[in-house]
Structure 1
Amino acid sequence: MKLGIIASAEAASFQLAKDKGLEFLEFCINIGSDLDAFTNQIPELKAASEQTGVKVGSVGRWGSDRISKEGIVEEELQISYRLIDAAAELGCANFVCGVNKVEELSYYENVSFAIDYFRKLINYGAAKGVVISSYNCDWNNFVKDDMAWTLIHGYLPELGIKFDPSHSRYAGRDYLLEARKWGGRFQHVHIKGSVIIDGQRFDDPPAGLDQTDWGTFMAILYGNGYNAGLSIEPHSHVWNGELGDKGVQFTIGYIRSMMF
């Protein structure tokens, strides 16, 4: 496995990651991001990666509408293609996205459109050496649980999963069971702490200072032969600034102690 971190898509991020002893960066070009600004930086990002030896481990896009009542949203499809192109140019083999649920449609119709969308991305990415993964985050996405994975990933054997235990915990699902059953499809994993008190989300502290059973989760990853990226996701409103830096360093040491 390799340890990395979600970071701003800029050249300086590579040196910061290297200084922390991390092996890759993850870029999230989410809804509202300036896609042109990102793609225009690719030569600079490539140069920084080559200079530091820090790779790009994942490129993803969260939050956008990819399907409508009529089917695939063509504009979003083209954005996904551009991001797959960017990932390929950066030497990144993993593109992450979700698919929104259209309330006016039946679950079957939503699944059918999602399959069509992912199949187009899979075919496009295959020619460029980029694997497509769905994310299990709730942000404008219904492809996040066993039912969706059974229907969609069951039909598309090439489709991977980007897994984050915190999303399953906050939704009341069993993240260890999901990891045991679907870990063979994991292509990318987010490392983010989660704390639930009295049934309510409290904070996303650094991994290792939370309630996630990281040791058992890592054992399940090993048991499924997982050998891809572990991407630290600083996501707390409390752990910022100097405290946030200390939290990231703590998580690096904590997760490294379980990497062999």
Structure 2
Amino acid sequence: MAVNNIPSVHLNNDAAIPQLGFGTFQIPPAETKAAVTSALNAGIRHIDTAQMYGNEKEVGEAIRDSGIDRSDIFVTSKLNNDVHDPAVVADALARTTERLGLGPIDLFLIHWPLPEVGDFVETWRALEAEYRAGNVRTIGVSNFNADHLERLLADTDVVPAVNQIEVHPYFQQDELREFNERHEIATEAWAPLAQGAVLDDPVLAEIAEEVNRSVAQVTLRWHIQRGDVIFPKSSTPERAAENSEIFDFDLSQPQVERIDALDKNHRFGPDPATFNFVPE
């Protein structure tokens, strides 16, 4: 699958996921359909949502109304933190499938490991059962550290296809990315622009001037050349289009190394080792 020269990453179950997608985190439901429509109009064919975001229904509406063949669009959602009990995982997945209205979802993730809330291994086993039954095409995890993944690899049968983690120039997570690669787990980078924090970075601004691109485009291109799957969020058609125009230039190795040197080990989101929030 390639639209507007967007390459795909082949997952460990032979599915293919477009390397550039569109994220819907913090997009209100009332604005979601228009935002997803703009992304689809810009040639993006990979949409990322979650039960937690509350906008699955609107994502599905945008895709169904787009006129684009369903098989050409890759859709991800994620299991909410309050439905980790293995007894309710199947129902939770069924509700996501119903809200989206697109048939079996392409990828379903455990959103957070919640190490002190139940047992994510048992939650994963429930997802494995749904995968084997054909109720979801691919399963993976989000925000799992290496020790969490080691437990899954030791105690379950299906290797997660992806691990969606915070990655950006200020928090590069090279050791975890290498762990993922070693076990044929694709790395998806959420907050690829560090929630906008990198847009004022002077090094990135210098490189952007050198290649006649925006700082956002340079940062997203850096991710692409590293092999990350990314899904920047934008509510404006212009920004969605800009984010998709990153496949007709390359960063040189010295430019990549200058961006690599920006790593501050600075996390903007919660630490998966200690994050155990469950909504009431």
Structure 1 unmatched runs, 5+ = 137-143, 196-200, 222-229, 235-239
Q: Which has the higher contact order (CA 8 A, sep 6+)?
A: 2
For the aligned residue pairs, the C-alpha RMSD in angstroms reads 4.1
Q: Residue 116 of structure 1: CA displacement?
A: 1.1
TM-score, structure 1 as length reference:
0.60
Flag the structure with higher strand content: 1
How many residues in Structure 1 have an aligned counterpart in Structure 2? 210
Q: Deviations over 1:153-185 (max 9, x none)?
A: 343342322334517964866354234324x12
Whether the aligned pair in 2 keeps the contact of 1:58 and 1:96 (CA below 8 Å) is no
Partner of 2:241: 249
Partner of 2:68: 52
Q: Residue 16 of structure 1: CA displacement?
A: 1.6
The secondary structure found in structure 1 opposite 2:167 is helix
Task: Return the letter of the residue paired with 2:175.
Answer: D
The alignment status of 1:133 with 2:140, answered yes or no, reads: yes
The secondary structure found in structure 1 opposite 2:43 is coil
Whether the aligned pair in 1 keeps the contact of 2:37 and 2:62 (CA below 8 Å) is no
Partner of 1:139: none
Structure 2 unmatched runs, 5+ = 1-7, 9-17, 200-214, 251-280
Task: Return the letter of the residue paired with 2:197.
Answer: D
Pairwise mapping of residues 156-171 of structure 1 onto structure 2 (< 5 A)?
156-158=156-158, 159-164=160-165, 166=167, 170=171
Task: Return the letter of the residue paired with 1:5.
Answer: F
Q: Deviations over 1:78-132 (max 9, x none)?
A: 32342256568445321122344354x8xxxx6xx21111111121233224221
Q: Deviations over 1:234-256 (max 9, x none)?
A: 2xxxxx776x943x434322256
Partner of 2:78: 61
Question: CA–CA distance in 2 between the matches of 1:155 and 1:170?
Answer: 29
TM-score, structure 2 as length reference:
0.56
Question: CA–CA distance in 1 between the matches of 2:51 and 2:22?
Answer: 15
